[in-house]
Structure 1
Amino acid sequence: MTEYQIDAWKKEIYNSLAAIADLEGQKLQWVGSTLSGNKILNRLFDLEFETFISYLIENEEGSRELLSNMIRMERVLHEYVKANLSDDKLLADPNWHLITQKATEILMLWDRDMEE
């Protein structure tokens, strides 16, 4: 992969995590729309999130804290994809709210680590 492709990959992963972190935006966009929670989750996996985490580890990018949070997030999100919840159920699920908070934490760690 070229540096340009890697930068684009990072940006897409970041934006996907930002969409997961934005609970209020989800409430506004998902209800009665073609955009859905499952599409957002699948987008992250289409971007090969697990491979991305491996890339960061191999290239020593990001703190141990960031990487361990990403690994946990990836595992939890796989369960949501399998569950295939409706948007209403997903938005009402307290565990989903925890996931949005965790995505926010990951973004904060990412911003901190990538500035160093």
Structure 2
Amino acid sequence: MRRFISTVLIVAACFTVSVASAQNPPVDNRAILEQKGNEVQQRENIVKQLQEELDKLEKVEKAARSKYKEHEAAMKEARKVYKKAMKDRKIADKNLVIARKNLQAAKKAQEYQKKLMKAEKEIKN
């Protein structure tokens, strides 16, 4: 009887091991390591590509900042020129007003000159 129970237990143990190995096939560590290595390599490649893109974007950003600074400097210079032009325009407007007044005064002086000459002719006659 003991032998029968031992045999049954051994058969049951073998059956359990065979069922367990059928459900969980034996692990092939080499394949898993190779797969993990491939995944790591893919991630490293992705990181490398992203780093290259980041470098390109940093170069573009640097160039854009440089252009922006140039633009700001040009705008600052343009503002200075504009302010000076506005001051010159105000001065020119004042000079124009003075010139018009002088022209009117010259016309009046010319009229008085003509009247004076007529009066002198009349006096001589």
TM range (shorter): under 0.3
Using CA pairs below 8 Å that are at least 6 residues apart, which structure has the higher relative contact order? Answer: 1
Question: Which structure has the highest helix share of the two?
Answer: 2
TM-score between both structures, scaled by the size of structure 2: 0.20
**Which protein has the larger Cα radius of gyration, Structure 1 or Structure 2?**
2
